Structure 1
């Protein structure tokens, strides 16, 4: 998607296409896209590039070292901060489409810098099990949040989720890239350990809303 992939990462103006929701189905077919046909185009062979200096990718570190929350229980997330990627990107909760595919951020300039959180999954940050599904747009001109994630978020990176006066800290444990046609069924895991699953389109842009691959970051809670 112009943003995140739900194999995450959706047909939107950015460039994120999500994966199919049901682990039993091909996780690439019918996936939502995060790139709209009217978005800037770099041609069929374009690949995500490092985004220019902009508000979503400007900070190399958070203003202050985050203190992980010591409370227990789930929260409703409001913003996500990732050192080197974003000081604090907002979160939207679009509904799933008619094929039960998670929605993506709006196809707009503002939507380029937002995360989409799939509330239909039923998992919130702070829950005891299951994946919190997030996605962001990847744009062919390299200017969206998904591009910044691809350029700067690797294993060991920090992700801080803020909401309800609390901040939950996560550490990226795995970065996986798969062909869109192959998918990644475990992206939708409900029974495994608690973690964030962040998706964005990657690889070659084959056409509007059509990217060759999906990249997923799995991030586990950091003990307080």
Structure 2
């Protein structure tokens, strides 16, 4: 059997909702793929330390993380790139002028830094430690993610400053890299394997950049319509054996 290189999104693809829990039939499928000599990796928008925590729990040693900006192979962090710093500073200065609270992730930890006390309760606050402290925007040298409050309805929209921005919870935006496909291509360069051997599984808008040719693209049954339109195959929901059924259908297990 020809070796395939599988890349799985975590939230709502491998995992249930945004939990760390992967269904038993999916865990079996991942283990069986590895036993048969295939490569199994994660492709996630999460910060490397966060994605690696989930990967390690299930014996997965490689991942594309930070939306394509970080690459881990065989438990070794190969590269980790921040967002364009000048663009980030420009956005943060506009947020300051408009009195829109924000927080930044400046290292590979689950800690976000903000000058706003109110941010302790915004943007999935239960998942992160929030360090409330003065932040000198122009002294920042590395930023991996930004979370900020959205403008009120009727207010002028924010400039994107060339950064990718996704709607987030509690009336916030999440600014992060969104090119998982670029990270997968770098992974395949390291592996010395053809891109035609890549299989990707996803469900959300931040998976669109990896739903490109020549990758074989599988959308979960619970995927967003925009992703299904780009899929080579649509499987069942992630909590209804979608990954297992797809791998059986195409003879990978």
So what's the TM-score if we normalise by structure 2? 0.21
Larger radius of gyration between Structure 1 and Structure 2: 2
Identify which of structures 1 and 2 has the higher relative contact order when contacts are C-alpha pairs closer than 8 Å and 6+ apart. Answer: 1
More helix by share: 2
More strand by share: 1
So what's the TM-score if we normalise by structure 1? 0.22
